[in-house]
Structures are given as structure tokens and as C-alpha cells.
Amino acid sequence: MRKALLSLLAIGLLFGVSSIQKTITSDRDRLGLTLVQPLENAPPVLAFTTVALGGFRGLISNALWIRANDLQDNDKFFEMAQLADWITKLEPHYTQVWVVQAWNMAYNISVKFSEFPDRWRWVDRGIRLLRDEGLRYNPNDILIYAELSWFFQHKMGANLDDANMYYKRQWLGEMQKVFGKTTPNLDELVHPQTLEQSNRVSVLRNEFKMDPNLMKEVDERYGPLEWRLPEAHAIYWAYLGLKAAETNPTKVKKDDLINVYRRIYQSMQLAFQRGRLIVNPYLVEGKPAFEFGPNLDIIPQTSAAYERAAKEDAEMRDHIFKAHRNFLRDAVYFLYGHNRVADASHWFNYLGTKYPDKMLINGDTNSFPGHITLDQYAFARIQEDVGEANSDDRVKAAVEGLVKQSYVALALGQDQRAAGFKLMANLLITTFKSNVGERIIALPMPSVEEVQKNVLKELLDPEKGPPYEFRSALRYKLGMPGEPPPSSSTNAPPERASSSSSSFSSSKSPGKS
């Protein structure tokens, strides 16, 4: 009787297991707990460990992980890196292994070094671990795409690491392998016409693991982007994460998908602020050989990315809309400051329509949409930048700074930006005179033309001014006679830029430069 009961129990248990086996198998596939497909092109050691060690791989990798942490605590970084390589070979399909080891290299280990080149080696090593190895064995894992995007957005793109400008210079040098020293041209990578172009496509695909067709797709959807800067690559890898999620929707966690959307709109916001590369060969006032300018052409795409993310992320929707509103406020101000007044007016109206119950100027209860003009809003933003705008000394210093920036921009061929700086200088002086009224006698304020005259004299001074090449470029842009080159210089004056200086001499530019 007892045996019969046990037999019935066993049959019942087998039936119960068989009824949930399909669900268990599906969950194992969805969570990546089983190898659905065999490894392809795997190194011999990886193929051996995958087959020979079986379930013991997890125990061995745990022991190696503990040892790697001990080595890291003792600053034995190179031994630790070797163990990390073994761990990833033991558990190639466990995403957290790749993410944690790459994070260790790019964040925890890199900051142990004081020399920037040493830091860069570890940051680059973390990026390569995810891009070259992690995605090789997990091509559809959205978490790896999100992490790789974050490295470009935060570690390389943000300014929290003291070495961030060194990272950007190194990455710029890396991208020159693909684009040369000119503005990136994606069309010649998508359809190479020469052997040299084909070689650069090969470098792009084999070394950087990027597809020129997908780059073109990303650029058309979110751009135009500056592909020599890290933000474009943050967007690229996040976009590939979205495509992987579309391919394998059952394997995607909602939080991971939301993180990818965040990577995109946050990186686009950074690209809007400083996503344009401006080469500065003159080293005016000690500035680096390149500097960043805002990418105003991606404002519509950036706004759309915010709104798309808010739609996907219900929990953080209010925070995203707050960030979106701040972005629109900056967009209006930046457009106005670059003399794109018509575009600034469009987004000023959109800002008021989208957020009708929010103040346009923080803390000013009289600044709700419809109560202030675009010029008043722009002046208030200038006031935030320069401090108390009723102080004549502050205003004079601000105007002089704006005029100087306008001349620097003009010499660099940024005509529209130069005109925008002059426009803001004029607005600042006009508003100051209006505010002080009759006290203008006690608080005299020079005209923009007078400030220009003084600043120009300073910038063109052969003894105390910027380098000869800068002075020559500025003279050409202003239509002034050339300055004889100094005896020690063999450089000829640069050619006149194709755009005229008319946009600088007037308060408004006739079109986009």
C-alpha cells in the first residue's frame, strides 16, 4: 500500500513538473540562463571552458572574482585585469560580469592613477571590453548597450573627471582614423568611392565595431551630430540598444529600456549645449586648440527625444517634463544669442504653449507666457549670467566680454555667433539705459560701437594682442588692410572666409551660417 501511494505521488509530481516545464524553459531563455545558440568564433580556451567545466564555471568564476577584488584593493591592477579576462571567458553570457569588470576599469581603477595617459588607457580598456567582447557574445543585450552609451556620455563626455578634456582629445585623435582631420562626411563612408575611403570604412567596422549605415540612420533621426565628440557615440550605442530591444522584446526589462531612452535624451541635451567642434588654431588667451559650441540644429530632435522618453517613463514623467522645460528655455536663449531670432521666437512660443502655467523666468511671477516678450526674456537670461544688470560696472564688463567673444567668433568663421554676441551686447546696453532713466548722467554707459573700438584696438595690438594669425584673420573678416607679418613668422594670412562680415556689422543675420 505504501509503495502504491509513493508511486502515485511520483506520477503526480512528474505530471506537475511537465506542466510547468514549458514556462520554466521560456523564463530561462528570457533571462539568459541558458545558451540557446552555441558560441561562434569563440577562442579555443572559451570553447573548452564552456563545454568541459559545465556547471562548475560559476563556482570558479566566483572564486576568481573574490581574488580580483583583493588584487584591486592592493592596487595590483594588471593581475586583476587578467583575472577579469578569465572571468568573462568563464561566464560570457552573464551580462553583469561584463558590466562590472568594465566599470571597474573605467571608473574604479582609472582614478587610481594621477597621470592622464594612464587613466585614459583604463577608460579605453573598459570601453573595448564592452564593445569588442561583451557585445560579441551578447549582441542583443540591452544592458551592455546602455552601459557602453553611459561611458561615452558620462565618463568621457561629462566634466566630472579631471582628465575629461584629455579623454576628448584622445577620442578626437581616434576618430581621425575614420574621418581624417576634416568635418565628418558619412556619405563617403556609406558609399566609398576610393581605396582610401574604403580603408577608413574598414577601420570603422573592424576597430570601432560601428556600421556606417547605422550611423547615417542615427544622424538622420537625431542629428546632425558631430561624430568626433563622445555624445554622438553615446546616442549611437543607445540607439542600437533600442533596436536590440525591438528584436528581443521578451528579454527586455522595462527599467533597462527606460535607461536607454534616458541615455538618448540626456546625450542629446549635452550635444545641444556643446555638440559642435570649433577648431581654434590661434590659441587666443590660452584657449585650447579646439573648443565646443552649441549644436542648435538638433533642437527639434532633442525636444522630441524628451517627449518620447516622458511617454515611456510614467514614473519619472514629471521630472522629464521639468528637464524638457529647462531645455526649451536654454534653446530660446541660445538661438537668440546666435542671432537666430526667428527660430528663437518659434521655440519661445512653443515653450509658452507647452507649459502655460510655468514662469518663463524662474522666480518672476510676472513672467508667465503672454506677459513678457522675447527680448525681455533674453535680457533676463543675460542678467542671470552677468549678475545684477543695474550695476554699471557689471554691465560694462559684460558688454566688453560679449564684444570680445564676437570678434573671436568672427575670426574663427562663426559669423552668426559673432552677430548674436553683438545683438546681446546691444540689448544689455539698451535695457540698462532704460532702467536707469535720468540717472544715465551719473551712470554713463558707452555705446556698443565705442566698446568695439576699444576691444578691437586691444585685439589688433601687435605687442599685447593675440597671435599674428588671429589678427590677420580678424582683419580679413572686417575688410581691414592686412598687417605686415613679423620677421619671425613665415605664415601667410589665411584666406578670406566664404561668408561676409555683413552679419557681424548688422544686428541681425539674413540667414543661418
Q: What is the DSSP letter of 156?
A: I
pLDDT of 496 higher than 70: no
Listed by start position, the domains of the chain span 184-315, 387-505
- Per residue in 209-242, pLDDT tens? 999 999 999 999 998 999 999 999 999 999 999 9
Rounded-to-integer distance, Cα 419 and Cα 98, Å: 49
- The values of phi and psi at residue 485, to 5°, are -70, 145
pLDDT of 130 higher than 90: yes
In 3D space, the residue among 126, 59, 55 whose CA is nearest the CA of residue 87 turns out to be: 59
Q: Taking the CB of residue 23, how many other CB atoms lie within 10 A of it?
A: 9
Cell 536590440 identifies what position?
244
The per-residue pLDDT of the chain, averaged, comes to 82
CB contact set of 77 (below 8 Å; sequence gap of 6+)? 71, 109, 112, 122
- Per residue in 317-362, pLDDT tens? 999 999 999 999 999 988 888 878 899 999 999 999 999 999 998 8
Q: What is the DSSP letter of 39?
A: -
- Per residue in 147-175, pLDDT tens? 999 999 999 999 889 999 899 999 999 99
CA atoms within 13 A on the CB side of 404: 16
pLDDT at residue 192, as a whole number:
94
pLDDT of 187 higher than 70: yes
Rounded-to-integer distance, Cα 470 and Cα 478, Å: 12
Q: Give the helix/strand (H/E) hosting 291.
A: strand 290-293
Averaged pLDDT for residues 417-434 = 82
The set of cell numbers assigned to 85 is: 579576462
The set of cell numbers assigned to 249 is: 522584446
pLDDT at residue 59, as a whole number:
77
pLDDT at residue 282, as a whole number:
64
- Per residue in 432-446, pLDDT tens? 777 767 666 555 677
Averaged pLDDT for residues 71-76 = 81
